[in-house]
Amino acid sequence: MDSLHQPGSGQNANQDALKQALDRMWIQFLPLMMERVGILETTAVAVAANHLSTEQREAAHGAAHKLAGALGTFGLNEGTLLAREAESLCLSDAVRPVPSAERLTQIATELRILIESRK
């Protein structure tokens, strides 16, 4: 029997095509994801300096929200959990007190390592 008629060969081809498509998307969106991690890092610095503006908090919240979704799409579930935590920390100041600079820094560092280590 040739490979076209072997059970499962079409499924393997589909999985390979999907993996290749996700790898191309990863390369395309990697700079944007790193930019979003940078927003979290900048926010942590602003928190540590006690200069967190509403705009910075909103930008960090949005960046974390987008990272949570994107990282899950690429199978980085740990990254999704970290980004969701950052998102929660950066909720509006009317809802939440100033986030912890130390924790935001830890999250951003862990996200950067996780993203940079994806093969």
Higher per-residue pLDDT: 111 or 118: 111
Higher per-residue pLDDT: 12 or 82: 82
Q: What is the pTM of this model?
A: 0.83
Q: How far apart are CA 50 and CA 45, in angstroms?
A: 9
Listed by start position, the domains of the chain span 31-117
Q: Is the pLDDT of residue 70 over 60?
A: yes
pLDDT at 59: 96
- Residue environment code for 53-80, b if the CB has 16+ CB neighbours within 10 A, otherwise e: eeebbebbbebbbbbbebbeebebeebb
Higher per-residue pLDDT: 116 or 10: 116
Average pLDDT, the chain: 88
pLDDT at 31: 96
